[in-house]
Amino acid sequence: MSIVFSGQAGQGLQTLEAITTKLFKRFGYHVFSYSEYMSRIRGGNNTTQVRVSSRRVASYTRRIDIFIPMQKDAMRRFHDRITHETVIIGDRAFIEERYLEGHYPVIEVPLTALARDAGGAVYGNTILLGLLSALFYVDRQLMEEELRTFFSSLEEQRLQKNLHAAEIGYEEGKKLLKPGQAAISIEHSEGVERELLMDGINAVGLGALAGGCTFVSSYPMSPSTGVLVFFTQKAGRSSVVVEQAEDEISAVNMAIGSWYAGGRALVTTSGGGFALMVEGVSLAGCMESPLVVHIGQRPGPATGLPTRTEQADLLFVLHSGHGEFPRAILAPGNIEQAFALTRHAFYLADKHQVPAFILTDQFLLESRYNIPELDTSKVYDQPFIVRTEKDYRRYTLTESGISPRGVPGFGAGRVRTDSDEHDEQGFITEDFGMRTAMVRKRLKKMDGLMEELLPPAFIGPEDYENIIVCWGSSYHPVIEAVEMLGRKDTAVLHFSQIYPLAPDIAGYLSRARKKIIAESNATSQFGRLITCETGMDFDLRILKFDGLPLMPEDIYDALNGQLL
């Protein structure tokens, strides 16, 4: 079931999203939610999709089963997504004429008037919650409990009014359940109520903590700011140093400074902010400093669409930084991976002394759904810093290219690090032999990164005809599309590590008769990278770049009739 609330900024859609997903999950339904919203604080038109299901759901769908208009103009942007099967529930005043002519299932509920009676417009959302609870057979008692938890910071009188409003909504909803009216049947699943309900922001934040993050310096930029806020709010009072820098240049140079002094630093930004950080990436490359960069992608160029989503910074991140040095780029496909790979990024960066990137996007960061558990068994504790001896050399030439990393104040050695080309001790040098040795040493670390490469996830039959390649947050939409198609001859190959790229990709591709790639950008950046590395081309590229997430239906439509 896909419910879409359509209102304006400032109308409390976020609260509604939070409380409905919590309540439905508590009742045992699988839930997913995602909001698409404009870059403004008031007005405009924003919508939230909440999916309620008996199975796990993790993608944003074009399909809308229930549409709830909450403002004038709430439907204008949705004519192509409201079908004759979409039930429209709400105030007559907010329903456009064309839907009132009897061809669409419309259930008029005087929400505005009910809210007025309940004490004011602010109670409108609670009434809606009550109404939906009744429609989805959520236990009334449970609803009340959830409201009490959710509104625990409100004073008693306001809480009572909310409870009352929910009751009103619940009664309205029950009226709709009369025979012949709407009826929803979703099985609820055992154990879901104890699952984690979280978004990508929390997953990246928790992953960083599990990776031993002790320092965060950043400059706000949607959609990455949530991760910065995670550290000041959720992880507040913990042992992480958090600073809002004056700009991204400062943020990244702070992060490298912190690593030098023994911190484990993260910067979180978006493409535009990362553009300013690029000099720092190169600095980390030269200094052989670990560095963890989280980039929440949004559509560019320039300021682009600040609150929307895209996967168009892949090649930028891959090629960022002047000069030649190794790096690792990870692109989580879902919330579990956002956690695990952020942790992994700290491990890779620290062990191999390279910049490691976590490439997410607004869709992944801001979509929220329930997951059974996060695997916290793989936590590691700072094994990579050494106590220095008197004759310590920061850049000792080694077989692996990795030199033991000391920090100032821990041991008797001097820790010298330089952005100029340097000798083993870290002093500036222009010796051509040393230069050559240092370049080789830095690049040698690529071998170590290759050894720890995360293989792509292969989903589907061994004897496939068609293969669909995707990366990052496109994972769930592609999987769901293939399920919709019901094809037994089609496999999905998902990459959560973009660089270094798995060498066996050519094998996977060559076994398919039709090679397809799906990604959220206009020029098929990952496809081009694969072609560059393997020489193999794709037969079909499914590309989306309007600012909305890739939807299963986009892929379904594009594949229909195209598969062998």
Partner 1 sequence: MASLYDFDHEIDIAWCRGCGNFRILASLKNTLSELELDPDTVVLVSGIGQAAKTPQYLDVHYFNGLHGRSLPAATAIKASNRGLTVIAESGDGDTYGEGGNHFIHAIRRNPGITNIVHNNMVYALTKGQASPTTRVGFVTPVQPQGVTEEAFNPLAVAVSLNAPFVARAYAGDEEQTSEILKKAITHKGYALVDIFQPCVTYNKVNTYQWYKENTYYLGEDYDPCDRPAAFAKALETGKYPLGVIYINDDRPAFEDTLDAYMHDTRPLYERTIDLDGIKRLMDSLRT
Of 104 and 150, CB closest to partner 1: 150
Of 214 and 307, CB closest to partner 1: 214
Residue 506 burial (CB < 10 Å; 0-12/13-18/19+)? middle
HSE, side-chain direction, 13 A CA sphere, residue 504: 12
List the one residue out of 466, 457, 465 whose CA is nearest residue 493.
457
Instruction: Check residue 276 for interaction with partner 1 (CB under 8 A).
Output: no
Residue 15 burial (CB < 10 Å; 0-12/13-18/19+)? middle
Q: Which stretch binds partner 1 (CB under 8 A): 35-43, 157-165, 322-330, 419-427?
A: 419-427
Residue 522 burial (CB < 10 Å; 0-12/13-18/19+)? middle
> Which residues, in sequence order, are bridge partners of residue 43?
9
CA torsion sign, 7 to 13 to 19 to 22?
Answer: positive
Instruction: Check residue 246 for interaction with partner 1 (CB under 8 A).
Output: yes
* Residue from 144, 171, 336, 418 in contact with partner 1 (CB under 8 A): 418
Instruction: Check residue 218 for interaction with partner 1 (CB under 8 A).
Output: no
Of 23 and 50, CB closest to partner 1: 23
DSSP assignment letter at 304: -
b/e burial code for range 50-64 (CB count within 10 A of at least 16 → b)? bbbbeebbbbbbbbb
Residue 532 burial (CB < 10 Å; 0-12/13-18/19+)? exposed
Binding residues for partner 1 restricted to 86-115, rule: CB under 8 A: none
Binding residues for partner 1 restricted to 143-202, rule: CB under 8 A: 149, 194-198, 202
* 437 Cβ contact list (under 8 Å, min separation 6): 397
Instruction: Check residue 227 for interaction with partner 1 (CB under 8 A).
Output: no
Instruction: Check residue 443 for interaction with partner 1 (CB under 8 A).
Output: no
* Residue from 72, 188, 416, 528 in contact with partner 1 (CB under 8 A): 416
* Residue from 65, 279, 421, 447 in contact with partner 1 (CB under 8 A): 279
Of 244 and 534, CB closest to partner 1: 244
Instruction: Check residue 62 for interaction with partner 1 (CB under 8 A).
Output: no
Instruction: Check residue 283 for interaction with partner 1 (CB under 8 A).
Output: yes
Site string for partner 1, 375-414 (x = CB under 8 A): -x--xxxx--x---------------------xxxxxx-x
Instruction: Check residue 272 for interaction with partner 1 (CB under 8 A).
Output: no
Binding residues for partner 1 restricted to 17-36, rule: CB under 8 A: 22, 26
* Residue from 68, 111, 134, 254 in contact with partner 1 (CB under 8 A): 254
| Cβ neighbours around 370 below 10 Å, total | 24
Instruction: Check residue 345 for interaction with partner 1 (CB under 8 A).
Output: no
- Write down the least CB distance from residue 386 to partner 1, Å: 11
Binding footprint of partner 1, residue count (CB under 8 A): 71
Instruction: Check residue 257 for interaction with partner 1 (CB under 8 A).
Output: yes
Instruction: Check residue 417 for interaction with partner 1 (CB under 8 A).
Output: yes
Instruction: Check residue 72 for interaction with partner 1 (CB under 8 A).
Output: no
The two tokens of residue 39 are 């870059």
Distances (CA, A) of 469 to 37, 310, 540: 29, 17, 10
Q: Which stretch binds partner 1 (CB under 8 A): 41-49, 421-429, 530-538, 555-563?
A: 421-429
DSSP string across 154-189: S-HHHHHHHHHHHHHHHHHHHHHTSTTS--------
* Residue from 236, 323, 461, 503 in contact with partner 1 (CB under 8 A): 236
SS3 8: strand
* Residue from 41, 153, 239, 391 in contact with partner 1 (CB under 8 A): 239
